[in-house]
Structure 1
Amino acid sequence: MSPRRPSAAERALRLLNRTLLTVFGIQLAIAIGMSLVDSYRRRGKRPKPFPVTPPRTVPVGDGEVTTYTFGKDLYEDMIAAIEGARRQVLFETYIWKGDAVGERFKQALVDAADRGVEVYCIYDGFANLVVSPRFKQFPPSLKVLRYPVYAAGWRFFDLTRYGRDHRKILVVDDTVGFVGGYNVGTAYETEWRDTHVRLTGPAVWDLKRTFADFWNLNRRRLIAHSARPLLLETASSWEPSIRFQRNVPRLWMFPIRGMYLEAINRANRNIWITQAYFLPDQDLVDALKAAAGRGVDVRLLVPLKSNHIVADWISRGYFSQLLDAGVRIFRYRDAMVHAKTATADGTWSTVGTANIDRLSLQGNYEINMEVIDERLAATLEEIWRRDESNSIELTSSEWEARDLHRRFTESFLRPLRPLL
């Protein structure tokens, strides 16, 4: 009996599938090629100086919040906090380079453990694949959780297990905490423009709880003698001005996107956003357009050229909609702006680790501090103006005049949006 010949409809479907796979493969190959070429072009380029806002401390509720926009200032205070620790240090980072700055942090943590301080460390395995294995060897005095490159195990189809640990947290002795966009490495110390905060008061307990929840959720990946849970006491008071919004993919919790949508929808005077990688979904784009349409001063600040060229090209695909709606777009020059901040109406602010993209808002472990306080909002507005002075505003006429190959590249790479 001869095999059945496929029908015309089946042949057409196969052809369509092959065509789509071929196009997707070409798109992916072009994206990889663009990244490699861009990386080669950056070799040997000397970083340029950029304006920074000195650390500024304001009272918020029963504590204080200090803002940092220059890595050197931040690292000095973080190291000082670790060196002054008496009981406990909780340290979590996405990228932990094995360079001079990374070694300095590692030594400070080891020294703290050697003098009897309980030291817990978390870092993301995938983000540090290129870091020397020798650097990632820690003495047994440190309790270290390396979040694995592949966390799904045999649960291939469990999407809750594919998020990266993109958070950056330091908590010392229940008295001081740090959170924001800065990873740990020499380049971030002087070459990148990022934003981080230091906080004191009752809000530190919530930051500590954030660390402990992640540790306890993943502690079974540790060696047996260190796999005990991290126990917490209950905070004596709440800080009503500050909330920590946490994305926890394992529990299917993604509140940061909702936080942004609520702030944008409630804004009636201004909302100024700084983002390293701006790849929103259409709901966020529509919210920004609607805010601009009702007279809100909506401003977006992004890198002129980020460290991920494909993200830049895909991000530009949203510019036409936003500019046509009256959103003002500023592109930061001479340095990589990596901050993830926003402020609205002189009252609401957020500083954190989450980018406005699919990976951060619907995939990774992230944390953003949400604050209702006029003094912190004023500080972030001052930082915004300083950054704006080092930016180029993109006008609608300039954008519409871009050449044909740029338009084609933006359109051709658009299907990659769900991957970023």
Structure 2
Amino acid sequence: MAIKYLAGNRLTLLNSGAEYFPALLAAIEAAHSEIFLESYIYANDEVGLRVSNALCRAVARGVVVNVIVDGFGARNFTTDFLPQLTAAGVRAMLYRPELGSFLGRFRLRRHRLRRLHRKLTVIDARLAFIGGINIIDDDNTPPGLRPRYDYAVRVEGPLLGPIHHAVQRMWEIVAWVNFKHRYRLPSPTTPDLAPRGSQRAALLIRDNIRHRNDILHAYVDAFAAAREEILIANAYFLPGVRFIRALQAAARRGVRITVLLQGKTNHPLLRSATQALYSLLLEQGIRIFEYEKSFLHAKVAVIDGEWATVGSSNIDPFSLLLAKEANLAVLDRTFAGQLRASIEAAMLAGAREMRREDLTGQPWHSRLRRWLSYGVVRVLVGITGYGQKHWRADEETASVTPEEQ
């Protein structure tokens, strides 16, 4: 897959909600024509209230405000915010709302796992935000996980073309599916494509039509080109065969590979399943760190101090095979250096390196739990209909099977 990088962008790396939400709110307050906002989670907390109030004020100024949230991740949106927003004139919709009986919510079918996991905001077709940060306060986490650690990027320049097209297309699709004919876009807005900086970047999306594997291919191609270092920080890490093989090949070439994962999590099943792969990765010389200071929610990587990605896509089958995702790929040493320094600072402040003896020294029931968790996740993926096509290759190659129990 050839990634189309556009030059002339100005990219600002934003670390967690402390930097992201002031920038987002300032952009909303300055909007004068239109706003598109997509989020997987839209929480009823201080951040959710501040964003909602800012959107309502924008409508009062004559701004056309379009909001899409996921019907599962933001399933309380209809009661918490939709009445207030629609009364103020905000045009808001849910992507695949959760319908049916209480028991029906537990039926595992492929379409129910196809979620809108993107976090995209476009202001006046001249400024965009992309990353992994939902509309939720960093401190709105289970006890012991505060604060959430994540990244987003403020984008100005020619990349507004594909980003603006992506949010417009998503809006049109969801409006058509929900029979919201009055929400159709009257005429396309022309994005501001004037150069604002000197950085090269590309938009990577994952959907089920033309871009099914774009983010996966971008990772694999970047690994194949790596010569010195691969640094990954990702919240949910359960890659398939192609991803692991690409990492293994890079390790055999002598590339230094470091992976930063969650040490504290709100999804213990996925963490245990991930730990089933630790022995395999460690045997290849890949260093693994677990972030224990707080809740790691990042989805970022830096390769050779030049290529970087920031976005919404986890490295697991649900993001790479099912959900709608959006990542930014950047070819710029300054940006990559900033992100690399930030990840390394986080590791120094709150990460613990995992070693093989940490795994072999654990009791048998811990090893059994990891093996069972890995099996359960494989079953869940199989239920969606993707298991045989994308994961069975793991069984055919001993080099990509989880640790022997």
- The answer, yes or no, to whether TM exceeds 0.5 is yes
Q: How big is the shift at 1:340? A: 0.3
Query: What are the within-5 Å matches in structure 2 for residues 157-306 of structure 1?
Result: 162-187=113-138, 191-220=147-176, 221-228=178-185, 231-233=188-190, 236=193, 241-251=200-210, 253-306=212-265
Does the CA-based 8 Å contact 2:125-2:190 persist in structure 1? no
Matches of 1:277 and 1:222, distance apart in 2: 35
1:305-357 deviation digits (Å, cap 9, x = unpaired): 21111111011111010000000001101201100000101111100000000
Q: Secondary structure at the match of 2:86?
A: coil
Does the CA-based 8 Å contact 2:264-2:296 persist in structure 1? no
Q: Which of 39, 61, 86 is the aligned partner of 1:139?
A: 86
Q: How big is the shift at 1:111? A: 0.5
Matches of 1:68 and 1:250, distance apart in 2: 31
Which amino acid in 2 is paired with 1:372?
L
1:263-291 deviation digits (Å, cap 9, x = unpaired): 11111100100000001112211221221
Q: Which of 24, 32, 53 is the aligned partner of 1:107?
A: 53
The answer for the alignment partner of 1:45 in structure 2 is none
Q: How big is the shift at 1:130? A: 4.1
The answer for the alignment partner of 1:413 in structure 2 is 373
Q: Secondary structure at the match of 1:416?
A: helix
Q: How big is the shift at 1:226? A: 1.8
Which amino acid in 1 is paired with 2:346?
D
Q: Secondary structure at the match of 1:260?
A: helix
Does the CA-based 8 Å contact 1:160-1:250 persist in structure 2? no
Q: Which of 304, 312, 321 is the aligned partner of 1:362?
A: 321
Q: How big is the shift at 1:234? A: 6.7
Q: Which of 81, 86, 97 is the aligned partner of 1:149?
A: 97
Alignment TM-score, normalising by the size of structure 1:
0.80
Query: What are the within-5 Å matches in structure 2 for residues 370-385 of structure 1?
Result: 370-385=329-344
Does the CA-based 8 Å contact 1:95-1:128 persist in structure 2? yes
Q: How big is the shift at 1:397? A: 2.1
Aligned length: 358
Q: How big is the shift at 1:380? A: 1.2
Q: How big is the shift at 1:240? A: 8.2
The answer for the alignment partner of 2:398 in structure 1 is none
Does the CA-based 8 Å contact 2:160-2:193 persist in structure 1? no
Q: Secondary structure at the match of 1:414?
A: helix
Matches of 1:350 and 1:398, distance apart in 2: 30
1:56-91 deviation digits (Å, cap 9, x = unpaired): xxxx94231111113122101100000001111111
5+ residue gaps, structure 1: 1-59
Distance change (3 Å), C-alpha of 1:269 and 1:354: same
The answer for the alignment partner of 1:47 in structure 2 is none
The answer for the alignment partner of 1:20 in structure 2 is none
The answer for the alignment partner of 1:313 in structure 2 is 272
Distance change (3 Å), C-alpha of 1:115 and 1:131: closer
Does the CA-based 8 Å contact 1:160-1:251 persist in structure 2? no
Runs of 4+ residues deviating >3 angstroms: 156-162, 187-190, 227-230, 232-240
322-331 vs 97-106, which deviates more?
97-106
Matches of 1:338 and 1:230, distance apart in 2: 37
Does the CA-based 8 Å contact 1:101-1:186 persist in structure 2? yes
Distance change (3 Å), C-alpha of 1:252 and 1:236: closer
Does the CA-based 8 Å contact 2:289-2:351 persist in structure 1? yes
Distance change (3 Å), C-alpha of 1:315 and 1:128: same
Q: How big is the shift at 1:157? A: 12
Does the CA-based 8 Å contact 1:91-1:120 persist in structure 2? yes
The answer for the alignment partner of 1:395 in structure 2 is 355
Matches of 1:212 and 1:161, distance apart in 2: 23
The answer for the alignment partner of 2:65 in structure 1 is 119
1:119-178 deviation digits (Å, cap 9, x = unpaired): 111101111224571422222521112112359xxxx99957851000011111122111
Matches of 1:402 and 1:88, distance apart in 2: 55
Distance change (3 Å), C-alpha of 1:287 and 1:124: same
Does the CA-based 8 Å contact 1:300-1:327 persist in structure 2? yes
Q: Secondary structure at the match of 1:205?
A: helix
Does the CA-based 8 Å contact 1:161-1:250 persist in structure 2? no
- Percent identity of equivalent pairs: 28
Which amino acid in 1 is paired with 2:86?
P
Q: How big is the shift at 1:204? A: 2.0
Q: Max radius of gyration: which structure? A: 1
Which amino acid in 2 is paired with 1:139?
T
Q: Secondary structure at the match of 1:68?
A: strand
Q: Secondary structure at the match of 2:204?
A: strand
Q: How big is the shift at 1:233? A: 3.2
Which amino acid in 1 is paired with 2:118?
R
Does the CA-based 8 Å contact 1:145-1:222 persist in structure 2? no
Does the CA-based 8 Å contact 1:65-1:199 persist in structure 2? yes
The answer for the alignment partner of 1:330 in structure 2 is 289
5+ residue gaps, structure 2: 1-5, 100-106, 141-145, 382-405
Q: Secondary structure at the match of 1:187?
A: coil
Alignment TM-score, normalising by the size of structure 2:
0.82
The answer for the alignment partner of 1:51 in structure 2 is none
